[in-house]
Structure 1
């Protein structure tokens, strides 16, 4: 049984500005493309937030039984400074500054990107194409656009003719911008540009003599435009029309707008049925910025080696923090927020780790199937992970009540309950059990077990002052002892 036959997803489509029922082009199959990183520096934490949101989308679609082809690219050429059509290539600039080959820059930061995402328990995409690996496809795409009358060549560079395109198409429909407004708000250039109009954008740039990364083309030795790369790679692996295109909110214009225009100009088709955009990540209420110093790298957050946070945070706590906010909301990264998420995460893990201790009864006092559907309803509503987490905390309450005997579940309902919790906690949210994600757990458990034994000896000797001292001082450092009929246990929340 495929779950997608019984669950109906409604997702927010940036193109239409409303939630729509998700209907894939081919039943049971989903094609999803997400714009990946430009690998000229360590991956930005804001980008990680975007990729984490789409990792959750990928996980949920797979959980429902869809066969998902998830394509996330690596931009390793052609992305100029300030997302412009002039200036220096970001990768080439880094190579020049460090006096190494551009592909050494690409290799170094691609490895960093993969290491960070592996640490944060991401599923790898189905295909991870590179821009430099698809030059032929990009040249062919440019030729099609020229043949259809929507691009022109000047001095070895090729530009997309936005004004010509807009005569028969709607340039700006994704970002809700009108070409007339763009013209009015465009600062006049100094007359040295080869473009017919400032709004036109590069499909191919002729390489200057000092430009290292270059390829032969019918127009010049040069390199592709940044916008073109994603159009070529997405349609090569997902077809001329596919289901979902994702990325950060900052890519909506001009990058994604240009992708739509290129595809319509080349193929006469709008490429994507559902556009999804993840919102921005702020740091202490302000936009992250390298120039102001208000920024932190993922590895600094994981190690605690930074000036913003009081401690290191585990990968699962970071994932849990991210999931407590809708992917379409601005998320403010703060120490207080992470500390609260850490407490919530360990509280949920404490409950999950009690699941195997629960015993079935003859009857059920909890409507498990109704609760289960609320979890699906949350994710079906535009992947609403904060509501899902609220339902998982409801389950945590049930677990403690079943453990205490105030609520009961039949064997069948208990199996359903366990399977549902494990699916959503581990498969969909991508969390790892606290015992696995905290490398110090075994040592901590051993140390606390020794203190629990010393406390038991003190109580047996009626040394209640020492017994209380052990309990109270452990509580001060965040370790709670729980005395029960089966002995003393502890938790770290």
Structure 2
């Protein structure tokens, strides 16, 4: 079964065919780096990480680009107000790039903790001002933008004469206009309330500004992704992804910019959107007090949840639902995810034990056709089912359910000699290898150390003290030797038993 993906632009699942095989170009909208990443920021990167892994597994040469927005994303996604990076810099009396670099580093650390492979290219908006200015010049020259007072705006009504603004989000311009309040007092310099900024004029006190043909200013938020995706993936590429909340206006404006430029393309052939995340049924927001950063989630320092949850538990939690389905965060949901994740990890631990139960190579005998063992067909079907979910619009929930089905069979084979004898070693070896591949290489789940080293060491020293009190010197020596093998020495002092790092 070939891979199919749901295309937001066409509202249907389509068989994936690269534009320039075997190369596949992927672009994911990255974070605006003025604050710590929250759990909602993680869903897109986790989804695209699995997509990248699977495409590479299928033999494609993937170029995965995920941007960093460090300039141009105005407050409330509007065309006025202050850039949140500049606002944070002003509040903390720092350079804007200090703020951007600090939160970029923390974001990358969070993504690595979640098991996300780094993108092949991670461009920053502030490093691609030249490309963005060139894109604005093309749109102006093609008659789809206008300049006023040093700012340049995209002309949506003019664009809509030739294309259709709203084609991605399935919105109608007339309805959009009806939902806006046209500023009749003349406070807005835009010709239409639907027009959006390509370039904004900046006064001398603005912290982030660059020279341009229209005077000092900075790029609009939507412009950066169109310019950087074109630079690294070409005028049209395979897949553009992001959260459902970015479909309008961000992705809609991206598509319009690309079609109005010299590219004359919808930018991406497939637009892939992951659904949103709620907390106990309510939208995540700071005002509701349920805003959960990834660091708080990992450390357990959030009032919305009762305890800490490890990065792999969180990754499993996100993957156990299809990316187009909404996900609700709660203690019960995370605890269930932790159980499921640990079940898969126990499956990995089972594999070498199962392999050890297999018989060795059969001795030579009479030549002739060897009958297929009766259990092979079932195991082969369970193994093939692991990929059926991934092929069907990257349905990781279905893939995980298939993993549990195969794991139940593997557990039966490990505990029932008659069942094990009904499966050929080659089929069982293939099933075990595929299970490990899907869990670790495709879903990106890895085993996490769950033991606290300090607590284990304290417990070991307590056993040492008990053995010494009981004069069980063989156990005392055994514990000393075991700890020394770990680079730790035990010291008996007047104050009690202590430990130190071995200096040998």
Structure 1 and Structure 2 fold alike (TM over 0.5): yes
Q: Partner of 2:419 in structure 1?
A: 407
1:169 aligns with 2:163: yes
Choose from 377, 380, 383 the match for 2:388.
Answer: 377
Match of 1:346 in 2: 342
The match for 2:121 is 127
2:102 is the alignment partner of 1:102: no
SS at match of 2:387: helix
Structure-to-structure mapping, 1:202-213, within 5 angstroms = 202-213=197-208
* Larger gyration radius, structure 1 or structure 2: 2
TM-fit CA distance, 1:410: 2.1
- Structure 2 distance, partners of 1:242, 1:287, is 33
Partners of 1:276 and 1:242 in 2: how far apart?
A: 13
1:279 corresponds to: 275
Write the mapping of 1:9-408 to structure 2, written as runs, cut at 5 A: 9-189=3-183, 190-266=185-261, 267-358=263-354, 359-361=357-359, 363=373, 365-367=375-377, 368-404=379-415, 405-408=417-420
1:23 is displaced (CA, Å) by: 0.7
Q: What count of residue pairs does the alignment treat as equivalent?
A: 443
Range with greater deviation from structure 2 (31-40 or 293-302): 293-302
**If the length of structure 1 is used for normalisation, what is the TM-score?**
0.87
Over 3 Å counting, the alpha-carbon distance change for 1:446 and 1:376 in structure 2 is farther
**Which deviates more, 355-364 or 272-281?**
355-364
User: Matched residues in 2 for 1:193 and 1:244: separation?
Assistant: 35
Please, which runs of 5 or more residues in structure 1 have no aligned partner? 1-6, 455-493
**CA contact under 8 A between 1:314 and 1:438: conserved in structure 2?**
no
CA–CA distance in structure 2, aligned partners of residues 441 and 260 of structure 1 = 52
CA distance, structure 2, for counterparts of residue 396 and residue 151 of structure 1: 58
Shift of 1:251: 0.3
Shift of the alpha carbon at 1:166?
Answer: 0.4
CA contact (8 A) 1:352 1:396 kept: no
Distance 1:177 1:126, change over 3 A: same
Distance 2:320 2:300 in 1: 21
Output the CA distance in 2 between the equivalents of 1:216 and 1:275: 33
Segment of structure 1 superposing worse, 247-256 or 181-190: 181-190
State the Cα distance separating 1:336 from its structure 2 match: 0.5
Structure 2 unaligned residues grouped into runs of 5+: 363-372, 467-504
Distance 1:379 1:293, change over 3 A: same
SS at match of 1:71: strand
2:343 & 2:430 partners in 1: Cα distance?
21
CA–CA separation in structure 1 for the residues paired with 2:401 and 2:132: 46
SS of 2:238's equivalent in the other structure is strand
How many Å separate the matches in 2 of 1:419 and 1:9? 21
